[in-house]
C-alpha cells in the first residue's frame, strides 16, 4: 500500500478546514494509505500561529497518528518552533526529507 505526504503551504481557511485537515484525518482513519504524513510549510505555518482552532485540529491529527512535520527554515523565520513542537509537530530542515519522498515510488506527494 502506498504512503501519503501532504505538503501544506496554503493559508486559505476554506482549503484548510474543508480539505487539508479532514482529508488527512480520514486518510489515516480509513487506512487509505499505509502511512499518512503532513509537512507544514510556508504560509500555513503563519496561519497555525494565528489560529487556535487550527492548532487544536493539528493536535488532533497528531493524536490520531498522522505524522506532522514543519519546515525548520520557516519556523526560524516566523518564530513558530516552540508552538509547533507543543502541538506535537516535528520541526526539521525539510529539503532532503521532501526530496526523498518525491523520489520514493511508494509515496504519493500532494501539495496544497
What is the mean pLDDT for each group of 10 consecutive residues in the chain (112 residues)?
Answer: 97 96 98 98 96 98 98 97 98 98 98 96
The answer to the question of residue 53 being in a domain is yes
With a CB cutoff of 8 Å and minimum separation 6, the contacts of 64 are 25, 28, 29
Q: What is the pLDDT of residue 55?
A: 98
- Is 111 part of a structural domain of the chain? no
Q: Give the Cα-Cα-Cα angle 112, 97, 56 (nearest 5 degrees).
A: 50
Distance CA 47, CA 13 (A): 9
Query: Which of 73, 65, 64, 66 is CA-nearest to residue 91?
Result: 73
> Domain range holding 65?
48-88
pLDDT the model gives residue 45 = 97
Residue 59 inside a domain? The answer is yes
Query: What is the predicted pLDDT for the residue at 17?
Result: 97
Number of domains composing the chain: 1
Amino acid at each position: 500500500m502506498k504512503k501519503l505526504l501532504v505538503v501544506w503551504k496554503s493559508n486559505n481557511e476554506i482549503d484548510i478546514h474543508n480539505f487539508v485537515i479532514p482529508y488527512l484525518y480520514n486518510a489515516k482513519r480509513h487506512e487509505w494509505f499505509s502511512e499518512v504524513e503532513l509537512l507544514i510549510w510556508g504560509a500555513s505555518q503563519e496561519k497555525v500561529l494565528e489560529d487556535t482552532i487550527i492548532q487544536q485540529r493539528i493536535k488532533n491529527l497528531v493524536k490520531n497518528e498522522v505524522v506532522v512535520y514543519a519546515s525548520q527554515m520557516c519556523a526560524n523565520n516566523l518564530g513558530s518552533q516552540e508552538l509547533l513542537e507543543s502541538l506535537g509537530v516535528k520541526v526539521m530542515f525539510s529539503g532532503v526529507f521532501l526530496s526523498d519522498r518525491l523520489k520514493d515510488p511508494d509515496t504519493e506527494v500532494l501539495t496544497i
